[in-house]
Each structure stands twice: as structure tokens, then as C-alpha cells.
Structure 1
Amino acid sequence: MQLRINSANNTNFVSVVTTCPVCGKAGSLIQIKNIADCRLVTLEGAVYYTGQRCCPNHECNAHIFFTKGSDDSLTLYPKLRIDFNSENIPSKIRSTFEEAVICHAERCYAASAIMVRRTLEELCQDKACSGKNLFNRIEELKSSVVLPTELFAALHELRVLGNDAAHIESKDFDNIGEEEVSIAIEITKEILKSVYQMESLVNRLKSLKKT
């Protein structure tokens, strides 16, 4: 793709309203003083704008690069990630799951699915489940944590997804793409919330009761 590049003047200022990929707050990103946007035109006539912005949250103030198309398509760097509350989650599990989220943001979906499966391995290890394989360890996990039946079933679906991502001969999932991995990450968030965060949330609510 060949481009013609022109500096944009103030009349071509591009509004970039999105979620900050660093702090997670939504808003209109702030243009950096004296740094103009660039207008890019392909030989096919498609128009894009690229430039730099700051997060409007003064506690964050992240420096963000963007490309925005005339069809309102938006690409950010750092990449926008799925929101994840890491409170009370053990550091090894948090680090592994954060890597799954980063891989997803970078569109490395097979790698993300593998790291979701690794997150389950870390969870089972944290709860001292010692079965000979992940299937057995997940079954053993049922006696260690309290989860809805649906989430225990989901643990095995996540295990299979991770297996398919790692082994080319597996055929349970026809595709390891954005939709499959997005759902896997959302389910994993709910599992981690139930195991590590729910008790804390309930205790916080109880602490607000009148004595």
C-alpha cells in the first residue's frame, strides 16, 4: 500500500474518543501541543489520520499513538486490552493471565489460548491439586473451591481450547480466533473472581453495615 502524507491543520483535527489502554478510563484523548496529526491517503483513495494523544485522566496521562480511518476504525498503541481486576489474585496467576490478555490484544490468539490454559495450571497448583494431568487436577479442584457448576464445566472447555491451540492434530475447535479467545478470557475472569475476589467483596459489604 502506497501513501501520500500531509500534515493536518487544526481544521482536520481528529477526535479520538476511546478507552485508555493504560488506565482503562474512557474519554476524549487530548491532543499534544504543537504536534499535528498526519493525513494519509492511499492510492485507492482511502483516508487515514495518525497522531499522538494523551489520556485525559491526569493521574494516568499516558502517551498514546493512534491511527483512525474515515470509516471510524481505530488502532491504538499501546493496544487496548480487555479490562482485568487483579486484586487479591496470587502473583503467578496474575502474571500468567495478564500475558493471555496481552497476547489477545496483539491478536496472537493461539498464544493467548495457551496462556489461558497455563492460568488454569497455576490455579490448580495454588490450590494444591496434584492429579497426573490437567483434567484430573480440575476434577480435584472441585473439592478445593466453590464454583457454580457451569464454571466447573467451563474449566474443561478452556482446557480443551488451550490443547487445540498447542497441538495441531487437535480438532475440538475448528478455529482459535478472536471470538473464541475473548470468551475464554471473560470466563477465566469470572473463575478468578469467584475463587479469589468474591469473599473479599462480601466482607467489604459486611463492613459497611451499621454496628
Structure 2
Amino acid sequence: MTTKKIKSHCRYCGQDTNHSVLSEHNESSRDEYSFDRVYQIVECLGCDTKSFRDVFEEVEHAYQISDTEWEVPTSITVYPRFIKDHRSLDGEYYLPSLVGRIYKEVLLAFQEDALILAGLGLRGTVEAVCNDLEVSGRNLEIRISKLATAGYISRKDAERLHGIRFMGNDAAHEIKKPKTAQLSVALKIVEHLLSSVYILEEEVQDKIDTLITEFDQFKSLLDKKLKQFTAGDELPIIGLFGRDIRRVKDSLAVLETELMAKIDSGEITALAKGKVDKYHSSKHDLQHYVLS
């Protein structure tokens, strides 16, 4: 038996793809209201995603388009519902619990055509990211600007996020329904934020050498480097880090100051401050550290 094939939207692929019909049930009526209806379980031939399809043909309202042809108004609904031309955010599992939950509710509202709620939810997602990153401020306008000054996003990204804020404010205070096209762009902006702050940050770990500006990252790399040496070795940071010194070069002064403070306070015990002297061909004296 040949499997029936159709074109249908795949929520995973984010576009219309070829599907095979796994199961099909037909219903028709020619009594009070004439219609044909087909219920189908379909499977995407590209990614194997399953969907349920409801095809409703209003035979009652068919109209003639030529001497021999009739057009039958047809509505097709695919479940779970989808956002047209949208693909699921890859790496969504990296999102913090609350941020991820709000983001999923935004998608659900958008899928169900609850556009005012979706607009509010996108603004709420930005608020949730600020809360998670502990970016404070008396209003969202200030907090978005602080995301940029703290280095989480670019200035251009901040400008776009202010657009999300405007749209959310209109939805909340004026009960203004955003257009689908507006929401589609706004969703891309918020997903770019989530990807930049959370997903890419996780995916690059131990795969790509990035600049280190935070002490926790500096301490993590330092701990790995110390395993290559033995107790009693005395070296400056440049000697401990080797070629990875390039990753901390721009922030080394601040990071090393914090390191020495934590050594003095006893918070870090794997190192002790040693001599201040030249190292190899260095132009200046460098603080050395003795491994415990």
C-alpha cells in the first residue's frame, strides 16, 4: 500500500515540508450544512515530527471560478499550533527555570493568537533576564541600559530591547494589540538576547577560548592551571597561565588585585604571595605566587 504524502507545516523545521499520512478519518455532511472534514495524523519526512491535522472544507460556500471549476473554502489547523516561520530555540534547556517558563508561555500565547498577552510576555521575559542577572534599576528602561554597560549585550541590542519595552507598555497600559509581524520581529530580538546571555555562554565553555573578565571565570582557569605545577613552585600569573594569558590580558590588573585580596583574607589557600621580581624577559617586576 502506497503511503499518502502531503505538504504540511512542521513546527520543528519551521516551514512547510513533505509529510506522510500515518492515519486518516473522513467525515462529510450534505444535510443542513454541507462540508467535508478530514482528521489526519502526519509525520514530517525530514525530522519525523508528528502532528495532528484538521482539514475543513466548506462545501456549502463553494463558488465557481470558471465554467468547469469550483473553489471550496478550506481551513487547515495543525496541532500543536505553531508560529509561522519560527523554529524552536536550540539550547532552550540552558535557560534559567523562571526565564524559560516565561519564554514558553510567550510562545504558547503567540501560537494561540493571544497577541496582547504575548506582547506582555516578551517584556516580562526581558524583566526576568534582568532579575536573573541581578541588573537593578527603578524601571526597565534603566535596566536595559545597564545590560549594555555591564557588557551582557551590545548598544545596538539595547536599542532593540527598548522597542520590546515600548510594545509591552502599549499592551499593558493601552491594551493595544500588537501586529503579528511586530511580534515576530520582537520574538527574534528576545530569542537573540536569550541565546547571547545563556545559550552561547554555555556552548562555548571548553570549546572556544574567550576573553575572561569575571573573577569566577579567572579562578576556574587558574585552578586548572595549578594542576600542572607542584607545591613550592613560584611563578607570576603569566607563568601559570602560559599562552592563556591572552584571555585575561585586558582585565589582569583588576583580576589580580582581587586574587591577592582573597589570598590575604584566607579565602584562597592554594597560593601564597611570593617575591616581586622579573620573570624571563619581562620589562617590569611581577608579583610571584608560591603553590601550597
Q: Is TM (by shorter chain) over 0.5?
A: yes
1:20 corresponds to which residue?
10
Q: Determine if the alignment matches structure 1 residue 64 to structure 2 residue 52.
A: yes
Q: Show the 5 A alignment for 1:40-79.
A: 49-56=37-44, 62-67=50-55, 74-79=76-81
Pair 1:148–1:50, CA change in 2 (3 A) = farther
Unmatched 5+ stretches in structure 1: 1-12
- The CA RMSD measured in Å over matched residues stands at 3.5
**1:93 corresponds to which of 99, 115, 136:** 99
2:20 corresponds to which residue?
30
2:87 corresponds to which residue?
83
Distance 1:99 1:127 in 2: 21
SS in 2 for 1:120: helix
Pair 1:206–1:168, CA change in 2 (3 A) = closer
Q: Percent identity?
A: 21
C-alpha displacement of 1:94:
1.1
Per-residue deviation, residues 178-205 of structure 1 (Å, max 9, x unmatched): 1111111111111111111223344475
C-alpha displacement of 1:40:
7.3
TM-score by length of 1: 0.72
Per-residue deviation, residues 139-190 of structure 1 (Å, max 9, x unmatched): 2222334323221101111011001011127xxxx75121111111111111
TM-score by length of 2: 0.54
Distance 2:184 2:119 in 1: 9
Higher strand proportion: 2
Distance 2:41 2:87 in 1: 21
Q: Verify the 8 A CA contact 1:17 1:29 in the aligned structure 2.
A: yes
Task: Name the amino acid aligned to 1:100.
Answer: V
Higher relative contact order (CA 8 A, sep 6+): 1
Distance 2:21 2:159 in 1: 47
Aligned residues: 188
